[in-house]
Chain A
Amino acid sequence: MKKSILISLVAVLLPVALFAQESPALPFIRTDRSAVTSAMGGAEALSPLYNPAAVPFRGSDVAFSFQSWAPGGAKSTNMNLTGGFRIGKRLAVNFIGAYQNGKEYPLYDNTGIGKSTFAPSDLLAGAGVGFAFTDFLSIGVNVKFAQSTVAQGSSYNAVAGDAFLLFKMKGFSATAGVASLGTPVKSGERKFGLPASAKVGLGYDLAFGTGALCFAADADVFFTGGVGAALGAQYGWNDMVFARAGFHLGTGNAPLPTYASVGLGVKFVGIHLDVSYLLGNAVLGNTLCAGIGYAF
């Protein structure tokens, strides 16, 4: 009797089954964790906290940020610690550590009977090294470990790496490389690739009087499909107060959608406080990030 009932259920369910296309695994490794760059549409390619190749030209910096991420979606709470350190004139290292605590979600069995709840979490840790061959050309690589726990006993791990070349001449900067190349995530018999991409970035700094403008632009072509692009600008006054704005474009399987961003920052004797706010997207809208750092 039970068998016949199961068969009946299956027969009822099958006619309305659909199929979804494959998506990238562990997308959180592409989350912009800096209150500065997130305010600029996520244009992070030239940030020393992200790209170790930039550290020899930018100086050292270390920052901690707190994110209320995607209130319209995952609603996770992210805590991030990043830093880049110049060692001598040409060598630099950087690191990243992040922990994300997702909101509890209800568990249901195969018949829709509610069981309990579970809170997912993510962990990201990595380090990199940069080296300037000349006064205008550098290279940087880093390695990251990512882990996502989505349910009791269900954790997924991957190791990813970035590699960039960076060119800098006066106020102009350009970088190119690959991001998030790494081991696939296995679920059952299937393997899912990380959101790896080919990445380029451009930047231009312009100073005038007590003010300064900074422009940054990124572009990603994701190997799993989709394109991402970010465009951001910053106005600084006396290197003390900063206003930022940006726009991010995401298409196809790009891990981040399209959204806009704004932000503010203050800096005094190297200590900087920054906030960012995302808008223009149902999921990422209202994402708030606040950070504190020290540049030296």
Chain B
Amino acid sequence: MNKRFDGILLGTLALLCACQRTQPQETALLMQETRQATPTAEEKGGIYLSGIANIYLDEETVRMIEEGVVSTKAASFNDALGEVGISSMERVFPYAGEFEQRTREMGMHRWYRIHYSPSVKTDKMSTLVKQIPGVQQFEPVVKAQTTHVPFNDPRLGEQWQYWNDGSASSKWQAGADMGVYPVWRYFTTGNPKVIVSVVDGGVHLNHEDLSGNVLPEYSYNFIAQSDYVTATEHGTHVAGIIAAVNNNGIGVSGMAGGDAAKGEPGCKIISCQVFSDEEVEGSASFENAVKWGADHGAVLSNNSWGYDFGKGDEFDAERAKSMHEFFLLPNSGEGKSALKDAIDYFNQYAGLDANGNQVGPMAGGVVFFSAGNDNRFWGSPANYPGVVAVGAIGPQGGRAYYSNYGDPDDPTITDWVDISATGGDSNYGMILSTLPGNTYGRYQGTSMACPHVTGVAALLVSYFGGPGFTREMLLERMLNSSNPVVTLEHQNIGKMLDATAAFTYGEDRTPSAVTDLSAEARSNTVTLSWSVTGSGKLPAAGYTVFFGTDKDAVEAATPAKAGGGVQKATMVASGLEIGETLSRTYSSLAFETPYWYKVMGFDKVLSYSEASDVVGVVTQANLPPTIVPSEPIDHLSLHTYETLKLSFVISEPDGHGVTWTVSPGSTAENWLPTDDGYSLSIAGALAEEGTYTATITATDQYNASSTLDVEYTILYNTPPRVISSIDNQLFTSKNEEKTLELSQHFSDPDGEALSYEVSNTAQSVMHATVNAGILYMTAFTDGSGAVTVTARDAQGKSASIEFLTAVRTGEAVLAYPNPVVDNLYLTNRELNAQSMTLRLVSATGGLVYEGTVSGSAFEPAVVDLSGLAPGVYSATIGLGGNEYKQTVVKK
């Protein structure tokens, strides 16, 4: 567990840029609550970045983390982090070096960025994290779309070198980028008058994302001594970094690629091809290639190349050192060289015509060379004092593992790398740019860092360039400003170039004081609002809010010291223009208490403005939650067959988090949570008759609660009743069908819809079934039986009707069973009993029985033949004046 936090203290100065990448909002604070009565901001619009957030820790927890004792004294803290799914965390504002003291004075060292699964919703994580001892605040990270995606180039989001907020990886350092977004926004995206010669492999001049910013007519192939430039991966990649067309909806963005959507072209590229991806005869004149740019309008020369002294074990250190030393010599005498002449020529004559008059945007040129990728102390010709040597960093904010650098132990070659820029690091993230064939790819190297520096130079010349602007002015801005986050101390690769810093070099960027601070209280939450201030074009980087209950203490508070219970809170203003309204909400304050506020703006180097006036506001009393039913709930009653549906909206008038519980009154209730309360379904059949009371209790986070009793009565269930009996049913032909409307025979005093069941003792004789309250009967074959129809209500109470059925399709009379053992039944097709005569004679004609009986289809006559000897008899049955004969066998 210690390892998790080992790295969090190793960060270097990241204070200011980190401030730019977070944007606390009112909604963010509200999300700390347990549960909102209204949908969260995340659910509404997805304004937060998934999987990351900032938390504010108490001093004791921070102390244990910094002392590395979290696994012992604060084991519960670590365990809690793991339990809620936090995979890692690090300081939001990394160690700030010389500025660390004032960073800590503001409590900014207590902000930590946590990383967790993006599938976990922000409000859920807020609830979980708030329960961890030592966590004082949870702050979602708001998506900064305004500054994050300035152009519509689809892969701009992958170009971390332009904007690195640290959210892509816990290993990345927020602010470890070129700081170019503000320049694009407030200053320039490039100017076609600024021409950059790319001394490199050939550039794919017709690349879909480059062609608008290249000058094919001035480009030249110094290998083939031809105007025909052959595209190479390296040269195309470098050119794309400098001037891939911006905002054209295609591919990537370039540092000085203009704004195609606005019709503003970027800086122009001249490809001076000195390398080829294919084996070719002859060698190029690098010297002439450098000079070519100066003679064809270029004022900047990008040289992402150096001398090859071998790789790995074959690296010729002696020759590298020797050559390094040679290029340290002045360009005269033993130090004289053609390349130095070319560089000097470019520096002196670029931007000038043959008569020495300035015709370009800058008088004189600047040559940029990559420092080399050997991880050595030497790098020629980059170390020639006449050029700007560029080292590389990765997104982690430190020297890339391959970048050549100065020897700290040899004063003569300690500081030969002049400046650093983003070159990528395969251990963390590489640089995405253009490649031949209208493709794109990622490279790393000082070759990539160099065009980023050239690109910043191109932007600077685009904005500041013009008559009187000299190379010295450009170099002063570039070499004397730096990225405020990536300090690169003791890494011997110069300062990290930052475009915004270079553009604002020498200016007082302290924002003006806030003059319209206002405060509004809602319950124990206070919302501050004020207009964003700034300096020149640049808005304030952020604001520090001082607040407390002691007005005098608030007035006396300074960024360095805030006593008397005054609290400080820092926020960034990224994405907001000067004059736009900025709001901040402070919750969890004491109720009915006066609070005093003032704000101070600051720029990127924490230079504070004057304080605003102190404004006061009195917080309000806490109001309990409200529970509002969807309809009046007085005198609720329902029958057992009914289902009553209600809903309850639970709201918190103060906007506090609220939890609610239900105490059911009976088993008939089904409570389901909704977004804003509960839905209730009461099924009368699921409980006995009686009066019940369910209770809803809503409690806000300050334990103010409301209850609502829902009383209802389940009425007595009267069983179904028989209205009229069902006549016996006689069928005289097969497949004869009969139907009965059962509602004519059954009713429910409660008005309840009834369900019906049928039982049939002679299913082979007749089929009986019920559908939709209709009894359907179909005769199959001769026989008789009984049918029972049962009507049942929802609670299972029932009433039944039984009737007889008979199917008689043969003779009008029938004697059965046959053979008979004792009783012989005589039936007929008559619904009511009829008189029948019966004569039985033996097989020899002797009369053995003669009598008169009475029977019907459902009440057959019975003749006891138990006294009759076994044998075959002839029966003659008389009915209604007709006689019917049947053989009857006695067993």
Contact = CB atoms under 8 A, between A and B. Distances in A.
Given A5-B802, A13-B825, A255-B842, A112 B816 contact: yes
Interface string B664-679: 0000000000000000
B817 A110 contact: yes
B845 A156 contact: no
Contacts of A148: 870-872
B581 interface: no
Contacts of A25: 869-871
B788 interface: yes
Contacts of B786: 5, 8-9
A100 B844 CA distance: 12
Residue of B846, B862, B867 ringed by the most chain A CB atoms within 10 A: B846
A107 B783 CA distance: 12
A190 B869 CA distance: 9
A284 B816 contact: no
B846 A254 contact: yes
Nearest to B811: A106
Given A22-B867, A150-B819, A154-B891, A14 B846 contact: no
Contact of B814 (A72, A112, A253): A112
A17 interface: yes
A154 B843 contact: no
Given A12-B859, A111-B762, A150-B819, A1 B788 contact: yes
Contacts of A238: none
B872 A1 contact: no
Contact of B870 (A5, A20, A154, A255): A154
A120 B889 CA distance: 9
A1 B282 CA distance: 112
A26 B871 contact: yes
A250 interface: yes
A18 B846 contact: no
A105 interface: yes
Given A9-B786, A18-B851, A112-B816, A257 B869 contact: no
A16 B861 contact: yes
Contacts of A111: 762, 765, 783-785, 816
Contacts of B34: none
Contacts of B740: none
Interface in B859-879: 859-872, 874
B848 to A, nearest CB: 4
Nearest to A11: B859
A112 B819 contact: no
Contact of A250 (B782, B846, B848): B846
Contacts of A190: 866-867
A31 B846 CA distance: 11
Q: How large is the interface on B (under 10, 10 to 19, 20 to 34, 35 or more residues)?
A: 35 or more
A181 B808 CA distance: 45
B726 interface: no
A184 B840 CA distance: 22
A185 B891 CA distance: 11
A2 interface: yes
Contacts, number: 208
A76 B872 CA distance: 10
A30 B814 contact: no
Contacts of A257: 841, 845-847
Given A16-B859, A187-B870, A257-B846, A109 B841 contact: no
A194 to B, nearest CB: 9
A21 interface: yes
Nearest to A4: B802
A213 B575 CA distance: 150
A27 B843 contact: yes
Contacts of A70: 843-845, 874
B38 interface: no
A160 B570 CA distance: 131
A148 B843 CA distance: 11
B438 interface: no
B889 A20 contact: no
A229 to B, nearest CB: 14
A87 interface: no
B761 A113 contact: no
Contact of A187 (B762, B764, B863, B869): B869
A108 B868 CA distance: 19
A185 B871 CA distance: 11
Given A13-B823, A151-B889, A20 B865 contact: yes
B887 interface: yes
A250 B844 CA distance: 11
A30 B842 CA distance: 12
A51 to B, nearest CB: 20
Interface in B72-114: none
B872 A105 contact: yes
A136 to B, nearest CB: 34
A57 to B, nearest CB: 29
B213 interface: no
Size category of the A interface is 35 or more
B378 interface: no
Interface string A152-192: 00101000000000000000000000000000010110101
Q: Chain B binding site: helix, strand, loop or mixed by DSSP?
A: strand
A9 B867 CA distance: 23
Nearest to A193: B869
A58 B817 CA distance: 50
Contacts of A28: 843-844
B849 A20 contact: yes
A12 B825 contact: no
Given A23-B869, A150-B819, A113 B783 contact: yes
Contacts of B874: 70, 72-74, 283
A111 B857 CA distance: 11
Contacts of A30: 844
A130 interface: no
A160 to B, nearest CB: 14
Given A20-B840, A23-B848, A112 B859 contact: no
Given A107-B819, A110-B817, A187-B869, A283 B845 contact: yes
Contacts of B765: 111, 113
The winner among B814, B825, B861, B870 for most chain A CB atoms within 10 A is B870
Contacts of B825: 13, 112
B887 A103 contact: yes
B154 to A, nearest CB: 77
Contact of B846 (A23, A72, A76, A105): A23
With a 10 A CB-CB cut-off, give which of B785, B862, B863 has the most chain A CB atoms.
B862
B550 to A, nearest CB: 88
A278 B186 CA distance: 138
B859 A13 contact: yes
Interface string B443-458: 0000000000000000
A102 interface: yes
B603 to A, nearest CB: 94
- B788, B847, B854 pick with most chain A CB within 10 angstroms: B847
B22 interface: no
B20 interface: no
Given A31-B844, A250-B846, A112 B761 contact: no
A42 to B, nearest CB: 11
Contacts of B819: 107, 150-151, 154
Interface of A: 1-2, 4-5, 8-9, 12-14, 16-28, 30-31, 69-70, 72-74, 76, 100, 102-103, 105-114, 118, 120, 122, 148, 150-151, 154, 156, 185, 187-188, 190, 192, 226, 250, 253-257, 259, 281, 283-284
18 contacts: A9-B786, A20-B849, A20-B865, A21-B848, A25-B869, A74-B843, A102-B887, A111-B783, A112-B816, A113-B765, A114-B781, A150-B871, A150-B872, A150-B891, A254-B846, A255-B846, A256-B844, A256-B845
Given A108-B815, A256-B844, 6 more contacts: A4-B802, A25-B871, A30-B844, A113-B764, A150-B870, A188-B866
The 7 closest A-B pairs by CB, nearest first: A113-B783, A105-B887, A108-B816, A192-B869, A25-B869, A17-B862, A73-B874
